[in-house]
Structure 1
Amino acid sequence: MSARTAVKSSAAPASQRKTGSPGTAGPLIRVGIGGWTYAPWRDNFYPAGLAQTRELEYASRHLTAIEINSTYHGTQKRTSFAKWRDETPDDFVFSVKASRFATNRRVLAESGESIARFIDSGIAELGPKLGPLVWQFAPTKQFDAEDFEAFLQLLPDSVEGVTLRHVLEVRHDSFLSPDYLKLARKYKAATVYTDSPKFPSMADLSSNFVYARLMDSSEKLTTGYGPKALDTWAAHARTWAAGKAPANLEQLEDKQPAAKRREVFIFFINGAKERAPAAAQALLSRLGWEPQEQVPAKVSAKVPAKKRA
């Protein structure tokens, strides 16, 4: 695959398939969780009796985005992406975690084949519902400017007529470098901001969107994060959406590139995972967004009435 070019496929262009247009939660802000299949969520997020086959349908009407994580571990079918697209509202967005075979390697410049296989796996079926692609690197992967730029040159700008956006999740302290930031900005890739104490955090702006993965939730709190913390994240989200950088988050540089606005993606992931949906809903509420469906249309008739109530 040639550097920074579109990947071609024999499939019909995404513009010819039924898709929706992206919407917002507040000003360009999307909030969600990682995946939608997790047994503990059937106790505190999904209604009793809801068929597991309808969990994505329900989640996508109570959140505004979901990060697909299964793509990190293995290739998904093109038909699966199309199915997920059709089960969700027109204004819903999926971010997609890229294949680990592209990022978990000693020489990143040699990952072209793995990148192409992931890009051409059918993600374009999501059409306008396709959000950023997340390239996650191992905590042991150190920054090598030459090799890392070679990797960035392999990331395509589009596939099957669908524009691609890339976000880099770097987990080694060596990436806390002006040289890394310069490369990220050169290739217009965002850097994941995380509140996890396990990984380096940098809120420096390097693209026209911001991507945060929040991992410091507590199982002792119903919403994972306390009211003050959620208020703070709502304020950060609004600041990012307005094109600015929050003053009290870790940055390598004092001065950040200005923009009229930026799209914002915030995902509650890991930590106390069972609290993630409640955390996302609490943040969405603070941003003025309300669920599209308060109660699912149908639940299993096998569930006793008392339990359903």
Structure 2
Amino acid sequence: MATTGIHIGTSGWSYKHWREIFYPAGLKPAGYLSFYAEKFKVTEINTSFYHLPKPSTVEGWIEKVPARFYFCPKISRYITHVKRLLDPEESLPRFFDIFDPFIKHLGPVLIQLPPSAAFETERVDHFFRILTKTYHGYHFALEARHKSWLSDEAMAMLQQYKIAWVIALSGHRWPFAEAITAKHIYVRFHGPDGRYDKLYPEKTMDTYAGKFREWQQDKHTVWAFFNNDGHGYALQNATQLITLLK
């Protein structure tokens, strides 16, 4: 697992509408990841949220990328949206049994909660305790979409368990706080108005290039992903930010 530096990529790579915007017209989808990995060194795995991949699928992805390429898998929605963090002893192994063999290729695991999931002290504390005790070799980042998570108590609990609060830039769509709760920092760019189909202005990229430098100087590891995939804007903004940091 990478523990230093700034890692910038996009939220997934297998977008059909990136054909001819990013991927050559003649390139088959099976070749997309290898092509992506020539330009970027990290990606989120979005598909693991909707359905768990087979271990052979994950192994196939790893074989297509360089040794120092990292994947940040999104935890199963069964855990976050169906079980709503309850019964982690039962729900977590289904996910981690798949990714455990590949842990050295992983960045933080993303936990994305539904907008209806408010912060509940006992439920969250139990989930975090089981998660971090059982899977202590991992780093975690939590993206909450209910304003109750902006409370001091919620932030203190994230800090206690060394789980990164996801700094989610989505206009006013979801709660925003530039809170640092762990040595790793996780940022998601969902689009200036949270609609996934707009380009961030250069001023925003300049601002975050400066913040990323400061965080790195403070010995934080930064993970940043662009989810504004419409029209290939995520690729454009990610490349722009990487260039600004050089």
Give the equivalent residue in structure 2 for 1:12: none
Aligned equivalents of 2:107, 2:11: Cα separation in 1: 13
Residues 1:234 and 2:209 are matched in the alignment = yes
Residues 1:190 and 2:148 are matched in the alignment = no
Query: What is the identity percentage for the equivalent residue pairs of Structure 1 and Structure 2?
Result: 30
Aligned equivalents of 2:103, 2:231: Cα separation in 1: 28
Letter in 1 for 2:244: R
Q: CA deviation at 1:217?
A: 4.5
**8 Å CA contact retained: 1:193, 1:213:** yes
Give me the TM-score of the superposition, normalised by structure 2: 0.91
Residues 1:55 and 2:55 are matched in the alignment = no
Match of 1:165 among 139, 145, 154: 139
Give me the TM-score of the superposition, normalised by structure 1: 0.73
Letter in 1 for 2:238: A
Within 5 Å, which residues of 2 pair with 1:128-277? 128-156=104-132, 163-196=137-170, 197-217=172-192, 224-243=199-218, 261-270=219-228, 272=230, 274-277=232-235
Aligned equivalents of 1:97, 1:120: Cα separation in 2: 14
Q: CA deviation at 1:57?
A: 0.3
In the comparison of the two structures, how many residue pairs are matched? Answer: 242
Letter in 2 for 1:29: I
Letter in 1 for 2:158: A
Structure 1 vs Structure 2 CA RMSD? 2.2
**8 Å CA contact retained: 2:229, 2:235:** no
Q: CA deviation at 1:60?
A: 1.1
Residue 154 of structure 1 aligns to a residue whose secondary structure is helix
Runs (4+) off by over 6 Å: none
Q: CA deviation at 1:227?
A: 1.8
CA gap 1:270/1:226 in 2 versus in 1, 3 angstroms: closer
Aligned equivalents of 2:94, 2:228: Cα separation in 1: 27
Structure whose residues are more often helix by fraction: 2
Aligned equivalents of 2:119, 2:82: Cα separation in 1: 13
Aligned equivalents of 2:239, 2:210: Cα separation in 1: 16
Aligned equivalents of 1:75, 1:107: Cα separation in 2: 17
CA gap 1:126/1:223 in 2 versus in 1, 3 angstroms: farther
**8 Å CA contact retained: 1:135, 1:169:** yes
Q: Deviations over 1:264-305 (max 9, x none)?
A: 0010014636311111111111112xxxxxxxxxxxxxxxxx
Q: Deviations over 1:144-192 (max 9, x none)?
A: 1111101111214566xx8211111111001110100111011110010
